[in-house]
Structure 1
Amino acid sequence: MSIPEAIILGIIQGITEWLPVSSSGHLALASYLFGIEPVGISLMLHLSSLFAVIIVLRKDILGIAKAGIKSIGEPNPESKLLFYIITATIPIAIIGLLFKDNIEAAFNSIRLVGIFLIITAIILWLTKYSKPNRDISLAGSIIIGLSQALAILPGISRSGATISAALCMGIDREKAARFSFLLFIPAIAGATILEYRTFAEVDLIPGIVAASVSFTLSLFVIRWLIGLVKKSRLHWFAPYCLVLGITAVLI
């Protein structure tokens, strides 16, 4: 992988990981065009995104951690949120372990990526009709967790699936976005532990360049998307996913 290719992949990850357009789908398409094995570099890029979201949501994370300790003797709203995050993470952990090889194989099928992008477009368009005003519940966290598990497939947007599921259940827009990003942390941390061997497949210097670009862009895009969700504009990305999906199917 060359440095220019690394920069392009970093830009793709830094923007598309957070926007509801499927970073895995974009990385699979770019890797196909560049002739690069996507699994190793994809994990390194996702790790850079993990560091970025921890920085952006550091106050939320510290609040949840403190609440978790205090809740040992006295339950509180933040500790309940921690419980919901754990609950929502279970589906992706189970599916990731059971279907790891099948998921990796899906990255090599551009037409399959295209089909999943079209599904993402439909999911995003449905948010146009949502009227969110509720808090996250146990049932809601389970459904959001199942949506995140579905987004393991390349072409299904993780943020798009989780935020859309939350909005369609009537969950407050900002809470939906923040919960989605908080879910990203245990999901990627777990994937990193499972796939750490793939780091050996990545060229060190281009990998660091790609991760650095992704990390820097992520710091800005996360904040921007939270504001966009609050303004009820998630469905704006549906036409883009639809066009890209159709293009991928026809390649």
Structure 2
Amino acid sequence: MDIIHAAVLGILQGLTEILPISSSAHLILVPWLLGWPESGLTFDVGLHVGTLLALCVYFRRDIAYLTSDAVTGLREGFGSQTSRLPFFIIAGTVPAAIVGKTLEKPIEEFFRGSPTLIAVLLIAFGLLLALSDTIGSKRWRMDRVDLRCALLIGLAQCLALIPGVSRSGITITAALFLGFTRDTAARFSFLLSLPIVAGAGILKMGELARNGIPAGELAPLLVGITTSAVSGYLGVVLLLKLVQRYSLYPFVWYRLLAGGAVLAYLFAR
């Protein structure tokens, strides 16, 4: 992989992993449309590390508070909602971790050769996001998150393994249907994704450590980490500003246009 490909895919990963528009769909469809080769394990590690860095830097205070609250809960009991929240987040990651460990590779192999289905899912889950943003009551904030909500949103996160769904998109959708505000839905989505993104990165780094970095891939790896981290951070800023002031419809329209454009291209061929 050359530096330009690495930079483009890094920017794509950073933005699309954060925004509710499906990173896996873009990382499959864009190289397919441009005729680029598959990125390989080394670059996958770089993309995951970059995204994790972006999330950890932006939510560093939240992570510090959650860690402190977890320690307080273990020492003094779980009498407050804040002391329980870190464990709700952990519980919410369990379903996706189990499903991801067992089904990630078969799902990826199946959908990688089906751009039509990916385009349809971009549209379908975009419409579902629009429905949740329209009919959700948007009453509850983070202090109303309980174990039931965390598990329901965590179960929804399992669908993110399917290209075209989007991890942030499906968890925000689930949170909106449960009555949370847009800002709370987005923030909880990001906090819920941290253990999953970290776990995926650690597993892939383990594979990379066993196989080693192939000759000539160190530079693209560093470019991928840097570009995905920077674009991921900007993606978090953009999404949280939009949900605080406006709505999620810009992402809905993007999903409809992107999915429609891919279907039109396939039909024209």
Per the normalisation by structure 2, the TM-score is: 0.86
Per the normalisation by structure 1, the TM-score is: 0.92
Tell me which residue corresponds to 2:96.
Answer: 92
Does the 8 A contact of 1:50 with 1:188 survive in 2? yes
CA distance in 1, matches of 2:159, 2:4: 32
What amino acid maps onto 2:217 in structure 1? D
CA shift at 1:66, angstroms? 0.6
What amino acid maps onto 2:193 in structure 1? F
Q: How does 1:1-251 map to 2 (within 5 A)?
A: 1-32=1-32, 33-38=34-39, 40=41, 41-72=43-74, 73-75=76-78, 76-105=80-109, 106-126=111-131, 127-134=133-140, 135-196=144-205, 197=207, 200=213, 203-250=217-264, 251=266
- Which stretches in structure 2 are left out of the alignment for 5+ residues? none
Does the 8 A contact of 1:5 with 1:34 survive in 2? no
Cα deviations across residues 151-180 of structure 1 (Å, max 9, x unaligned)? 111111111111111011101322211111
Cα deviations across residues 11-35 of structure 1 (Å, max 9, x unaligned)? 2122222111111111111222242
Does the 8 A contact of 1:112 with 1:249 survive in 2? no
What amino acid maps onto 1:51 in structure 2? L
More off after superposition, 84-93 vs 114-123: 114-123
Cα deviations across residues 13-64 of structure 1 (Å, max 9, x unaligned)? 2222211111111111122224222453344212211111011001110001
Over the aligned positions, Cα root-mean-square deviation in angstroms equals 2.0
CA distance in 1, matches of 2:113, 2:197: 21
CA distance in 2, matches of 1:167, 1:90: 21
Does the 8 A contact of 1:118 with 1:242 survive in 2? yes
Does the 8 A contact of 2:25 with 2:163 survive in 1? yes
Aligned pair count reads: 251
- Which stretches in structure 1 are left out of the alignment for 5+ residues? none
Does the 8 A contact of 2:136 with 2:180 survive in 1? no
Partner of 1:37, secondary structure, is coil
Give % identity.
36
